[in-house]
Amino acid sequence: MRARRTPVAIVAAAFLGLGLVAPTSAATAAGGDADTLKATQKIRDAVSAKSLTAHLKQLDAAAKRYGDRAAGTTGYDAAGRYVEFKLREAGYKPTRQYFDFEFEEIQEQEVTVAGAAVEAIVATYSPSTPAGGVSSTLAVPTTPLGCDAAAYAGADVTGKVVLVSRGDCSFGQKATVAKAAGAGAVLIANNTEGPLNATLGDPAGDYAPTLGITQAEGTRLAGLVGSAATVDLQVLRETRRTFNVIAETKGGDADNVVMLGAHLDGVEDTVAANDNGTGTAAVLETAIQLPKQKGLKNKVRFAFWGAEELGLIGSTEYVNDLVETDPTALDDIATYLNFDMLGSPNWVTSVYDADQSTYASTVPIPAGSIETEKAFRDYFKAVRKPVVDTEFSGRSDYQAFIENGVAAGGLFSGADGTKTEAEQLLFGGTAGVTYDPNYHTAKDDLANVNAKALHLHGDAVAHLTLTLARSTRVIDVPDPTARTFSVKKKVAYGLPDGVVRR
């Protein structure tokens, strides 16, 4: 854990041992001195609150006109055309990388236990129930996690609605084992606060119909085992096509590429302003302003990912394509910077914790990732803004990159986690409330975006992009011709525990 001195003694005491960083008076930036900060002032001024909001309004208009900008929809296509138009205006030649994905739409959803409705979220790739639904009783396995056949030994779950707990194995495994045991449907209770947004991992898996419920709802239902239970779930599923938008600077060292990205898609039935219009706006405006800067030595590549919300599909397709067709191109990427949610209403500024000073990581941490984290931290020190850690978990579009040895880093303003009292001291807002109470809901609209947070994070995106475009010295990347990575593999969509989260 990290403990740092701060000029405010009472604050220092609150932060000690929590991995939090208070503002300092240091005049250092990524690059080692105040000159670097001064050199990026022009692009940071250009990546203004006004310009970022202008992009958000266009993305909002596209989603409102067509209903949302979920992957494979007309709204997503409209958002993609807007991004491409602005990139062409700035002198880029954007390309589309098309890929197929499994589209699904919930046409019917009803869950009841003991005659009362249960609020639940359908797991991505869940199959439908038979027409008319499952009407039986609520049951539990012999052991609550339901991870293997032994967990159901002696339990009669045939045709019943089974309640299991999150943990120890993937959601897909729980749904597969339940189906094999004869369950008619599965309710997975969260093991922490907040809703459970799950993906089962494989569109072709042999699953029982599966939905996620909150920890509190799971506790309540545990007292109703044996009560009447129904699940009626009808899901339209079909193969659709969508795309990533990729653009890069005309010049710069192609053997030392700085890459940054944000996902352009959102969840269904929302304009997805914070998740992830904010990241898209910051990356897009940085791309627009970068060619106007001087001293660009490295090639910079921008990505606007499709189908992130369905399991990181677009970014995974991009990396897998390089693994298959041009694996040396991965060695040319000095670092990948990911920006997913930068304007949460009850925001924090958090950086991916590559040095594991706060959170132990269970995913690869490629060389250069710790230095990338430090570069972000040095910037926030220089502008005297606080910063905290968020898990380096691979739970966003950097997953496929780190699985193949590419350094990564990024910023995150918070989703469904809860703000602590120490974070309230640092950033304001309200302790005990989630960072984005409207996360993945229809209320994630323009009013949900904190303009101050977006501008603050947009400045950081612009600063580090320009700094690395001029020199990757600050992230200690070796000579690109000498860099080799032992890992080169195609990566599966989604995440080990099936949760698409940062």
Q: Which residues are catalytic?
A: 308
In 290-397, which residue ranges form alpha helices assigned H by DSSP? 313-325, 328-331, 369-382
**């053997």: which residue's tokens?**
255
Token pair, residue 196, equals 């459970």
Q: Which amino acid, 402?
A: I
| C-alpha–C-alpha distance, residues 51 and 44, integer Å | 11
Is the separation of the CB atoms in 247 and 89 below 8 Å? no
For 125, the token pair is: 């790739």
- Cα atoms in the Cβ-side hemisphere of radius 13 Å centred on 140: 16
Token digits for 22?
């208070």
Pairing state between β 116-117 and 95-113: antiparallel
Question: What single string gives the DSSP state of each residue in 258-320?
Answer: EEEEEE----TTS--IIIIIHHHHHHHHHHHHGGGSS---EEEEEEEESSGGGTSHHHHHHHH
How many CA atoms does the CB half-sphere of 93 hold within 13 Å? 2
CA neighbor of 460 nearest in space, from 59, 54, 40, 28: 40
Contact (Cβ atoms closer than 8 angstroms) between residue 385 and residue 377: no
Phi, psi of 96 (to 5 degrees): -105, 135
**Main-chain dihedrals φ then ψ at residue 194, nearest 5 degrees:** 105, 165
> What three-state secondary structure class fits 97?
strand
Q: What are the angstrom distances between the C-alpha of 341 and each of 64, 114, 363, 371? A: 20, 39, 21, 22
The CA distance from 329 to 225, in Å, is 55
- For 37, the enclosing helix (H) or strand (E) is helix 34-39
> What is d(CA 210, CA 121) in angstroms, rounded to the nearest whole number?
9
How far apart are the C-alpha atoms of 341 and 363, rounded to whole Å? 21
> Measured between alpha carbons, how far is 446 from 443 in angstroms, rounded to an integer?
9
CA 291, CA 111: separation in Å to the nearest integer? 53
Sequence-distant (≥ 6) Cβ neighbours of residue 360 within 8 angstroms: none
